[in-house]
């Protein structure tokens, strides 16, 4: 089975990115043939500063490698380093129904808010489909909010296959297990758009300050509290082992504690949890040429596969052959 997923370099990865997706990408690399790309072409719909995009893309590669993505087991590359995908996008675009793209969430939501939507946003799902189809991907790990994009991909592939023969593999989504809300510092879902994130590679001192500013309720210290409905406990649970989690839950149910105590325990657990990744990232950052070699090697492997799929599609529709 071949697994593929991409992640946009629109900012530094936060705890929600890690527990919601990246952790599972790393787990999947030991089970299946895995392709993971940094979606810098997709990011162009929102990031307009070239220096920022270049730095974000490098940071994304450093972060993924530091967090455990193994280039010997998974293929890691920049989306823009595989031009075959852009060529494939056009082939799919020629058969993409306008109505199908008009129903896609991102475009609909922007139009509903009265905001201008450019062609990049409108055709974003077609580029995403090309990303998936270019590698004969069987499985695409996604959150529930991304399932529509896989359905669009399957629709486009099915239409192309109907017109020109069996060219594309029809991928299936694999809904990520940890798509439950990772709370942000305000208790809402952790998201850059809410400005409530804590970055995975935040310096420890700054991370601790952010943790200490996490909002809590005003219940008295002596009151018993339900850990399952408390976002501070939910965050602690992401980092703690079973024994520490149960001990903290018992403290909540008994009452007689302050939230500052929980925040300190959360900061300690988070710092310990990511300590190896922090050290690995510092080592990688000192050798950027190694990171570039990994990305180039990944792109070379990805291009080889994408070129064979593109040629298959070109021959089927009469562009070549």
Among the listed residues 149, 101, 114, 99, the one whose alpha carbon sits nearest the alpha carbon of residue 128: 149
Joined tokens for residue 249: 């839950």
The DSSP secondary structure of 139-178, one letter per residue, reads EEEE-GGGHHHHHHHHHHHHHHHHHH-S-S---EEEE-TT
3-class SS at 85? helix
To the query of whether residue 225 is one of the catalytic residues in this protein, the response is no
What phi, psi does 186 have (nearest 5°)? -105, 5
Among the listed residues 25, 28, 19, 14, the one whose alpha carbon sits nearest the alpha carbon of residue 239: 19
- Residue 25: which residues within 8 A CB-CB, separation 6 or more? 5, 34, 36, 64, 69, 74, 141
Question: Which of 111, 181, 192, 264 is the catalytic position?
Answer: 192
d(CA 93, CA 100): 11
Question: Which of 111, 113, 181, 189 is the catalytic position?
Answer: 189
CB atoms closer than 10 angstroms to residue 246: 12
Question: Which of 110, 111, 181, 264 is the catalytic position?
Answer: 110
Among the listed residues 49, 40, 44, the one whose alpha carbon sits nearest the alpha carbon of residue 82: 40
Among the listed residues 237, 303, 285, the one whose alpha carbon sits nearest the alpha carbon of residue 80: 303
To the query of whether residue 110 is one of the catalytic residues in this protein, the response is yes
Q: Give residue for tokens 């996604």.
A: 142
Q: In degrees to the nearest 10, what's the CA dihedral of 106, 112, 114, 115?
A: 0
The residues pairing with 140 across neighbouring beta strands, listed in sequence order, are 173
Q: Which residues are catalytic?
A: 110, 189, 192
């Amino acid at each position: 089975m071949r697994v593929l997923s991409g992640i946009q370099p629109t900012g530094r990865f936060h705890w929600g990115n890690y527990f919601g997706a990246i952790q599972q990408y790393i787990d999947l690399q030991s089970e299946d043939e895995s392709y993971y790309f940094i979606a810098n072409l997709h990011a162009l719909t929102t990031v307009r500063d070239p220096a920022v995009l270049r730095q974000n893309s490098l940071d994304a590669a450093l972060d993924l490698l530091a967090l455990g993505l193994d280039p010997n087991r998974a293929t890691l590359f920049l989306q823009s380093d595989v031009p075959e995908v852009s060529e494939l996008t056009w082939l799919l675009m020629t058969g993409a129904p306008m109505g199908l793209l008009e129903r896609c969430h991102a475009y609909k939501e922007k139009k509903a808010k009265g905001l201008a939507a450019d062609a990049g946003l409108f055709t974003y799902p077609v580029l995403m489909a090309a990303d998936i189809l270019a590698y004969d991907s069987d499985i695409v790990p996604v959150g529930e909010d991304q399932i529509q994009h896989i359905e669009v991909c399957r629709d486009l592939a099915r239409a192309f296959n109907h017109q020109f023969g069996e060219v594309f593999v029809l991928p299936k989504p694999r809904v990520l297990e940890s798509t439950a809300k990772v709370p942000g510092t305000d208790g809402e879902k952790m998201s850059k758009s809410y400005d409530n994130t804590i970055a995975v590679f935040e310096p420890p001192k700054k991370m601790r300050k952010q943790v200490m500013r996490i909002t809590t309720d005003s219940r008295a210290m002596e009151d018993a509290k339900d850990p399952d409905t408390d976002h501070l406990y939910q965050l602690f649970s992401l980092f703690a082992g079973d024994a520490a989690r149960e001990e903290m839950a018992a403290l909540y149910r008994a009452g007689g504690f302050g939230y500052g105590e929980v925040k300190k325990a959360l900061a300690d657990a988070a710092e310990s949890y990511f300590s190896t990744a922090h050290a690995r990232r510092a080592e990688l950052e000192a050798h950027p040429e190694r990171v570039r070699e990994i990305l180039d090697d990944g792109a070379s492997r990805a291009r080889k596969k994408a070129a064979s799929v593109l040629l298959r599609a070109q021959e089927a529709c009469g562009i070549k052959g």
